Amino acid sequence: MFLRLLLILSLVLSALGLGVLGYQLLSPAPAPLTASVTVAPPAPPAMVALVVAARPLLAGTLLKDEDFATRQVATADAPEGYVAPGDDSRIELRGALLRRYLDPNTPLRRADVLRAREHGFLAAVLRPGMRAISVGVDVVTGAAGLIWPGDQVDLILTQELAAADAPLSRRVIGETVLTDVRVIAVDQQFTRGANPDDVAAGRIARTVTLEVDAEQAERVAVANRLGRIALTVRAIDRLEAELVSTGASVFGGDVSPALTGSAISGGVRMRLIQGDERRDVTFR
């Protein structure tokens, strides 16, 4: 009896073992365990600030502060020779001449500008066929230092003749030598407000450089020798008729009627020349 039970138990255990083995063989293999890896996001690209055009700028523009803006770009996209923003850059670029056309937001490179006092700057500022000539001014003849580059001016020559050459009423003469001439520089400033320290210190300009043609340059050179030159600033809005000068001379007697009185001038004098004899005749 005991042997029979032992045999039955052995058969049951064998069946269970075969069942477990068959389940393991028939069941799918478990997926291998993988380690969890966290991927970090890519680092943002390095950025750099540079000076760009604030608006469309034509070649030949004399740059001003309002022509600049600041833009952030990736360091890899920054052009070679770019200009970094800052007070030093603005001082360096203020009044510089732009060599090429720039669209808005176009980076400004150092090779794009010609700075004041660099070789060829004055020649680059002039329009084709024009010349540059300077005249000396003071606080009176230079409009109290309020003339700026870009202004349009007239040149007035005043001269005084010798007493033997003209009566008192016609000794002092005023004439408009040139009209509607462009100022390209005041002292060494080529743009309006290029050196605000001079304005703050109340410094008065000593020279004004004008843009003229060849014939006008000769007239200015002669006028400098004849007498005193004064500059008058033209209004921005002006009539076309004002652009043409009458060319008439203004004498002292035209300004002060008292100079034409006989008590002062002693009448009208004429010089008579007969051979080697010369004499003055007064008509009262």
Distances (CA, A) of 214 to 81, 125, 140, 211, 223: 39, 16, 27, 10, 15
Q: Is the pLDDT of residue 240 over 60?
A: no
Q: Is the pLDDT of residue 282 over 80?
A: no
Greater confidence (190 vs 78) lies with 78
Residue 268: pLDDT band with limits 50, 70, 90: low
The pair phi, psi for residue 74, each rounded to 5°, is -65, 145
pLDDT score for 216: 92
Question: Which range among 85-89, 120-124, 210-214, 263-267 shows the weakest confidence by mean pLDDT?
Answer: 263-267
Rounded distance, CA 106 to CA 131, Å?
32
Average pLDDT estimate for 238-251: 61
Beta bridge partners of 251: 173
Average pLDDT estimate for 42-49: 84
Greater confidence (245 vs 40) lies with 40
Q: What does the domain layout of the chain look like in residue ranges?
A: 45-125, 128-236+246-283
pLDDT over 70, % of the chain:
68
Question: Which range among 192-196, 200-204, 239-243 shows the weakest confidence by mean pLDDT?
Answer: 192-196
CB atoms within 10 A of CB 116: 20
Beta bridge partners of 48: 73
Rounded distance, CA 69 to CA 54, Å?
5
Task: Tell me which fold the domain 45-125 belongs to.
Answer: Type Iii Antifreeze Protein Isoform Hplc 12 (3.90.1210)
